Structure 1
């Protein structure tokens, strides 16, 4: 008989009697009153009622457990099995948890931990021995954690029977059996951009400096390409995580940042199963907050097997460029009273309040600077000849980078400098003059 369905006869009979309907709750009162109608000798109609009898439904213990699982693990490693207990009785009950194991070897340090969301990972480090009170119909999820002995031989198996027993009625219990087969150990090594022992980031442990540094802007997603390399003898599943804490004592990211892992097909994942001798590609899409601070942030990625405990980390980094608009423009001006093409004063962005009379000239300088962290291309500086002025050509418009196109002297239009490429931190300045209409 399937251990998940093993319950004592009383519970089986209770379930059979009630079919698929929910059990009547313990303490429910069932009341019944009989009545009779009759005609008397004069043919008068009458109704007679009996006394009312009351039956109080008693509590019956019943439960289901599961599932039965089978896993492979290496000798000396830890194995984790996800389990659940459902109170199928008709009243609140608690269920004590115990484990027994048999086979070619015995599991050590068998413990239970709460797993409220059922993700197969313990919620905390506090062992439990009971589900605590469960109302009728409620399911409690937990994990059973055990360690294989280091001497267990490859191919040998263990059957660990986890039993839940009703506290209300200790004769009622149910069990699930988890089978563990010893395989050669798995390994994990995270590398960047390619697989194998010569790839960037290869080797055990976390690197002291970033293997890859991606440059992006606040609010924009950047992608890291990771390879999970399992050179061990057994397949294993590795949970994925990212943190600014290289030790992963805490899993934390800067406020507003997100990291989404995807497989080779682009599907969102939280773990990856890697076969022995194989490598899986995993994409880590990192999006800094829209208001992220300019600068470089160290970021660590981890692959951790909850079954074997095998893990590795890789050290990467994200650099936030100065702003989303990489090219900044600064415009300054100076008066050229006699229109000889030479500024009479220092250039400034302040308003000109002296000497700007009809017929005088103004000299302009516009500087474009790449304030980002990546090159920008096809840069063109444009400036319109202002209203109430005309283009002045005693000194031709010029630029420190690129050719300049300007209107005919004495007319209006656009002055343009085709700068081209600006490397990070590089600037180009365009100069021209205008005459105030006389």
Structure 2
């Protein structure tokens, strides 16, 4: 896909005044009365034409409303930016991503920069265009913007609440440098190109934040023997308690607990409880519990980090 075919999103930014290449034309006039009271005479000065030079300016802004939440080992994670030509001429910009930012807590692994081809502001795999510097640098008219995505992988070794910054930079292809620097004859429309207040380059950072979770599972047993004591004799009931505690700030999805009935014991039917509430043994009745093939199971679903679920069930010693 050519650069010209990219759909550019409009921006609220205001470009730097009159469009580059515009001719400012001025003619002065003088009038006087002809000698002897004749018809007044008007004469024109020479024409002075000044071509408006191109002002090279660009702004880069992260479009994400806050940190983008990720988990260890995830790939193709997206940060979103908007690049706006805040100069007054049509200009191409070279883009680059920096994942090795100082001051953050881990470095994401850069995968690619993507241009928002259909202008909807959302990364669409297989639709949006992979960016290759020098090949499809986005060309923006004054005030025009394009949404840019940076895709990254999250290392498996990251820990809960750690953050990583990724910076997107844009630089005008005509040139950059100290504001006021001049590139003679290189401006859009045939004038000079003059570096604006941004230095014709800008950058902004977006952030990933890790939400990682794990579960601690602790099992304990209470024995009630037929004589009112706590001896493990035949006929005694063992009440097993399973306490699942999620650790971290993220959610654990599809958390399920399963426990096999020990040898030399018999499961006590309909004895499963979750948070003290009874669950049935049937797998198809819609509640979270079931007993099948010598095991009890409880489907806990999505459990946020830092929460506890308590399960009990009973067996009888044979």
- TM-score over 0.5 for the alignment? yes
Select which of 241, 253, 259 maps to 1:365.
Answer: 241
**1:295-335: CA deviations, max 9, x gaps?**
3224041323162242333333222333xxx4525131223
Partner of 1:336 in structure 2? 223
From the CA coordinates, give the structure whose radius of gyration is larger.
1
Q: For 2:85 and 2:246, how far apart are their aligned partners in 1?
A: 43
Q: Would the alpha carbon gap of residues 335 and 343 (structure 1) be closer, same or farther in structure 2, given more than 3 Å must change?
A: farther
Q: For 1:253 and 1:335, how far apart are their aligned partners in 2?
A: 45
Secondary structure of the residue aligned to 1:290 is: coil
Residues 1:225 and 2:85 aligned together: no
**1:270-296: CA deviations, max 9, x gaps?**
474241221112111121223234432
Residues 1:397 and 2:268 aligned together: no
Structure of higher RCO (CA pairs closer than 8 Å, 6+ residues apart): 2
Partner of 1:35 in structure 2? none
TM-score, normalised relative to structure 2: 0.57
Retained in 1: the 8 A contact 2:106–2:164? no
Partner of 2:168 in structure 1? 302
Q: Would the alpha carbon gap of residues 391 and 422 (structure 1) be closer, same or farther in structure 2, given more than 3 Å must change?
A: same
Q: For 1:396 and 1:284, how far apart are their aligned partners in 2?
A: 52
Q: For 1:339 and 1:327, how far apart are their aligned partners in 2?
A: 39
Structure 2 runs not aligned, ≥5 long: 1-18, 23-51, 117-127, 177-198, 283-291
Q: For 1:402 and 1:258, how far apart are their aligned partners in 2?
A: 48
Partner of 1:280 in structure 2? 146
Q: For 1:357 and 1:243, how far apart are their aligned partners in 2?
A: 64
Partner of 1:319 in structure 2? 209
Q: For 2:247 and 2:74, how far apart are their aligned partners in 1?
A: 17
Retained in 2: the 8 A contact 1:261–1:285? yes
Describe how 1:5-404 pairs up with structure 2 within 5 A.
155=21, 182-193=53-64, 200=65, 212-221=66-75, 222-234=77-89, 235-245=91-101, 254=106, 257-264=109-116, 265-270=128-133, 272-275=137-140, 276-305=142-171, 307-308=175-176, 309-322=199-212, 326-338=213-225, 355-392=231-268, 396-400=271-275, 404=279
**1:237-293: CA deviations, max 9, x gaps?**
13222244369xxxx994673352222214144474241221112111121223234
Q: For 2:229 and 2:56, how far apart are their aligned partners in 1?
A: 78
- Count of aligned pairs between the two proteins: 222
Structure 1 runs not aligned, ≥5 long: 1-152, 157-180, 194-199, 201-211, 345-354
